[in-house]
């Protein structure tokens, strides 16, 4: 059931009405039923996968929590009789048991993800090596990839690790925990929530609040605008350029990079807007997942602003554990001894960064394109960090740090660099992508921008005008958000102005949205993850 389908809109309307009619104590049950119904529309095998993950994670967390409580009780009962060494030995014993349960469940949850998402990718690479030695090839497996498996797996893993760390006690009600994992608005593309941020909100009763409902509907409409008016309208041009690399080279590659950057941003943020808006109507506050990333002045800043929940997840559950692991501490000690304090201390940080970005790349998709995408981002970030002394010298020498034109240059540079790396999403393999990079230097065909060739990319003049209209609105609103919430400011305006804005947004979607007869409905890009 697509977010942009009529069925989904009817589903939402029914849910909203029933949600505020029934007693508040049953609202979470309604959300649980609605979430599993929504997910079942993609296939009952998908329901089986998420149920297995929920069950394994729930019982493991309960067991770890029981060990926590047993430890507290034992230490309390024997407070005066245990020596410091005995207390430490007991704690280490309990921690060891908890760690075994943790690792077993992580192996299972991530193993399921790995099998369904990466088995055929592994087989493909094995077959490539086999061809070199004229060996037999393995057959690909018919494994369906459950929708949103990466998101709900990571959310489950984060919850389990937090329980292990003692951040909070495990949820006792398996139904409530199942709702946390399966909450349908965020199930297929995030944001990746933490239990202490979302859990209580899901289970608490919510009375009808006109402000929440109004703000939520506004956010949903804004998401539909970005998806239907911008992302889906520019999509044919992106497909035309990237699926025909022999025809569209040179300047077309640059156009494809910019077009795809716009499409991806409008598509992903539009989906997140719909997600946050649905939750807001229900009285639930989800954390923001974007903070105007295309106004970033560096790659590192860009990734602090883009898909924030994913970035913080990898930071908290991959980067930090890896960087302080025993193996990395040994590497740190060795590198300091061999390369000196200044260089040595950066080695484990950079190694951890490489691991994180490799994991981020493979998380995005079972393809070398995504792995290279992740490693290129890593390379740019590391190089930028190594160039910090040069940047400091440059700014001290020329004093341009606070100049508007220099800031504009930084923003443009970051946008183009990220767009260039992002285009790896689109071309069929890494080799083709790098060949297209090369064509921008070797094939000078900028004149084709002015001979009508842009009208042969699957979009016409009217589409370009609509896109220009939509992009300008999106940029203006993004700039205005720097000074506070647009919705808050709009709510303070007279009713005539406020409702005129709502109606105008709705009409824009109806008139300019890409839908209807002959329209090839497109799922949100991040649904594939």
Structure confidence at residue 499 as a pLDDT band (50, 70, 90): confident
Residue 409 lies in a domain: yes
Residue 441 lies in a domain: no
The residue length of the chain stands at 529
Judge if 400 and 483 occupy the same domain: no
Residue 315, classed as helix, strand or coil, is: helix
Structure confidence at residue 494 as a pLDDT band (50, 70, 90): confident
Judge if 329 and 394 occupy the same domain: yes
Residue 97 lies in a domain: yes
Cα→Cα distances 230→7, 191, 258, 476, 527, Å: 22, 22, 13, 15, 18
Name the region of 458 (left: φ>0; alpha: ψ -120 to 50; beta: rest): left
Q: pLDDT digit string (tens) for 374-422?
A: 999 999 999 998 888 898 888 888 888 888 899 999 999 999 999 999 9
**Number of domains comprising the chain:** 3
Q: Name the residue with tokens 């406020």.
A: 498
Distance of alpha carbon 300 from alpha carbon 414, whole angstroms: 10
Residue 4 lies in a domain: no
Structure confidence at residue 512 as a pLDDT band (50, 70, 90): confident
Predicted local distance difference test score (pLDDT) of residue 524: 64
Residue 508, domain extent: 210-286+446-529
Residue 2 lies in a domain: no
Residue 498, classed as helix, strand or coil, is: helix
Write the DSSP string, 341-401. HHHHTHHHHHHHHHHHHHHHHHHH-SSHHHHHHHHHHHHHHHHHHHTHHHHHHHHHHH--T
Judge if 231 and 197 occupy the same domain: no
Judge if 191 and 252 occupy the same domain: no
Judge if 63 and 148 occupy the same domain: yes
Final residue of a domain: which of 152, 173, 205? 205
Q: pLDDT digit string (tens) for 261-270?
A: 999 999 999 9
Q: Name the residue with tokens 């995005």.
A: 364
Judge if 73 and 101 occupy the same domain: yes
Q: What is the largest CA-CA distance in the chain?
A: 89
Judge if 50 and 188 occupy the same domain: yes
Question: Which is more confident, 492 or 244?
Answer: 244
Q: Give yes or no for a contact between 3 and 11, defined as CB atoms under 8 angstroms apart.
A: no
Among 60, 330, 275, 98, which residue's Cα sits nearest to residue 174?
60
Judge if 242 and 372 occupy the same domain: no
Distance of alpha carbon 260 from alpha carbon 242, whole angstroms: 10
Judge if 177 and 224 occupy the same domain: no
Q: Give yes or no for a contact between 186 and 248, defined as CB atoms under 8 angstroms apart.
A: no
Final residue of a domain: which of 428, 455, 479? 428
Q: What percent of the chain has a predicted confidence (pLDDT) above 70?
A: 97
Mean pLDDT of 294-308: 93
Predicted local distance difference test score (pLDDT) of residue 528: 55
Among 81, 62, 281, 277, which residue's Cα sits nearest to residue 170?
62
Residue 96, classed as helix, strand or coil, is: helix
Q: Give yes or no for a contact between 64 and 163, defined as CB atoms under 8 angstroms apart.
A: yes
Q: pLDDT digit string (tens) for 2-49?
A: 887 888 999 999 999 999 999 999 999 999 999 999 999 888 888 999
Cα→Cα distances 10→2, 3, 228, Å: 12, 11, 18
> Which range among 1-5, 61-65, 317-321, 507-511 shows the weakest confidence by mean pLDDT?
1-5
Among 225, 235, 228, which residue's Cα sits nearest to residue 514?
228
Residue 3 lies in a domain: no
Task: Supply 214's token pair.
Answer: 């109004």
Residue 204, classed as helix, strand or coil, is: coil
Residue 7 lies in a domain: no
Predicted local distance difference test score (pLDDT) of residue 260: 96
Judge if 124 and 177 occupy the same domain: yes
Final residue of a domain: which of 151, 173, 205? 205
DSSP code for 17: H
Structure confidence at residue 516 as a pLDDT band (50, 70, 90): low
Q: pLDDT digit string (tens) for 191-220?
A: 999 999 999 999 998 999 998 999 999 999
* Average pLDDT value over all residues in the chain: 90
Judge if 158 and 111 occupy the same domain: yes
Judge if 58 and 102 occupy the same domain: yes
């Amino acid at each position: 059931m697509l977010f942009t389908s009529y069925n989904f809109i009817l589903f939402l309307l029914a849910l909203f009405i029933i949600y505020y009619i029934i007693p508040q104590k049953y609202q979470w049950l309604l959300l649980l039923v609605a979430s599993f119904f929504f997910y079942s529309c993609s296939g009952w095998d998908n329901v089986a996968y998420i149920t297995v993950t929920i069950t394994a994670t729930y019982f493991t967390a309960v067991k770890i929590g029981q060990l926590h409580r047993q430890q507290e009780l034992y230490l309390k009962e024997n407070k005066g009789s245990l020596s410091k060494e005995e207390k430490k030995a007991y704690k280490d014993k309990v921690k060891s048991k908890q760690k075994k349960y943790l690792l077993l469940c992580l192996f299972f949850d991530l193993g399921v993800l790995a099998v369904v998402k990466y088995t055929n990718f592994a087989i493909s690479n094995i077959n490539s090596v086999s061809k070199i030695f004229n060996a037999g090839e393995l057959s690909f497996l018919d494994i369906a990839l459950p929708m949103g498996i990466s998101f709900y797996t990571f959310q489950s893993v984060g919850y389990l690790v937090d329980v292990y760390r003692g951040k909070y006690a495990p949820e006792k009600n398996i139904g409530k925990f199942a709702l946390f994992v399966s909450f349908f608005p965020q199930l297929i593309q995030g944001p990746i929530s933490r239990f202490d941020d979302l859990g209580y909100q899901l289970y608490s009763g919510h009375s009808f609040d006109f402000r929440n409902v109004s703000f939520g509907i506004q956010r949903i409409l804004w998401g539909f605008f970005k998806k239907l008016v911008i992302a889906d309208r520019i999509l044919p041009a992106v497909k035309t350029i990237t699926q025909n690399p022999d025809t569209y080279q040179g300047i077309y590659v640059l156009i494809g990079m910019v077009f795809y950057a716009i499409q991806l941003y409008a598509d992903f943020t539009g989906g997140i807007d719909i997600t946050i808006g649905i939750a807001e109507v229900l009285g639930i506050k989800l954390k923001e997942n974007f903070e105007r990333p295309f106004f970033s002045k560096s790659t590192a800043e860009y990734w602090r602003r883009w898909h924030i929940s994913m970035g913080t997840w990898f930071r908290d559950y991959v980067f930090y554990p890896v960087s302080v692991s025993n193996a990395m501490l040994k590497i740190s000690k060795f590198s300091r001894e061999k390369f000196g304090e200044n260089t040595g201390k950066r080695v484990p940080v950079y190694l951890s960064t490489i691991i994180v970005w490799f994991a981020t790349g493979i998380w995005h998709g079972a393809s070398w394109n995504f792995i290279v995408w992740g490693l290129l981002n890593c390379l740019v970030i590391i190089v930028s960090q190594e160039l910090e002394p040069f940047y400091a010298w440059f700014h001290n020498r020329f004093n341009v740090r606070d100049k508007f034109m220099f800031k504009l240059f930084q923003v443009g540079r970051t946008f183009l660099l990220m767009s260039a790396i992002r285009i790896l999403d689109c071309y069929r393999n890494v080799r083709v992508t790098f060949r297209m990079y090369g064509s921008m230097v070797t094939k000078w065909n900028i004149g084709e921008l002015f001979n009508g060739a842009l009208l042969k990319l699957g979009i016409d003049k009217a589409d370009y005008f609509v896109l220009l209209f939509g992009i300008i609105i999106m940029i203006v609103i993004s700039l205005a958000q720097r000074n506070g919430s647009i919705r808050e400011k709009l709510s303070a305006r007279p009713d005539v102005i406020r409702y005129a804005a709502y109606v105008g947004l709705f009409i824009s979607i109806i008139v300019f949205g890409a839908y209807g007869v002959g329209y090839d409905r497109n799922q949100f890009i991040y649904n594939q993850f």
